[in-house]
Amino acid sequence: MGRPRKYTTEESRLDAIQADRKRHYERHRETVLKQRRQRYHEDKRLNSKQSLRRVVNIAKDHSGKPACITKKASNTHDVSSALHDLDHEHREIMHPSEAEYTAWIYTEAMVDNAATTIDRELDILEILAQKAQVETQRIWEKEGCVPEFEAGQRFCRRVRNTIMILEDMLEYALSSVNELSEAYEQHKLMFQNM
């Protein structure tokens, strides 16, 4: 016979999760705020670069025609903003960090059906990885090996690493929830050894 259900309603489960997140925030308030400030400054720096590109795009030579740099600047702006959007989407999924995200997935997997929870998150990340791959390929075709292309490659690697971590968890979860919890207790899961 299995253990009795910890939460009888979805609302009580969500309340417990919210309370746990609140306690975590209170314990780690300084580091969370530091990460948020760092992310804010990175976003601000990216936005200022984009506004500079807009200025270059508007620049015209003496004949009144757009300057020859216009095409490259507008392409770079389109590409970098698309990568920025994907990065923002990735941060929303991984909020506040990859380690905490994977720990949250593990917790959710233990409360709900383990394989279903992990599989759902894998589907979301696979879609994000495909978008990033398409965007990186687009950068390569338009610009060649520029910093945006390298950033796209790094982003793809980050998403692929997260997918590998979840696939590792799924491998144990498909056997049984007990197998997953034993692997967690013995620190066999990939996210515990990062």
Residue 43, pLDDT score: 78
Rounded Cα distance between 112 and 192, Å, is 21
Rounded Cα distance between 35 and 99, Å, is 14
What are the pLDDT digits (tens) for 128-171?
888 888 888 887 788 777 777 788 888 888 888 888 888 888 88
Rounded Cα distance between 93 and 156, Å, is 15
What are the pLDDT digits (tens) for 116-140?
778 888 888 888 888 888 888 887 7
Rounded Cα distance between 19 and 23, Å, is 6
Rounded Cα distance between 79 and 185, Å, is 44
Average pLDDT by stretches of 10, the chain with 194 residues: 89 93 92 88 69 45 41 45 77 74 78 74 85 83 78 84 83 78 80 70
Give CA separation, 152 vs 107, 130, 136, 144, in Å: 31, 12, 5, 12
Rounded Cα distance between 120 and 69, Å, is 44
Domain residue spans in the chain? 28-193
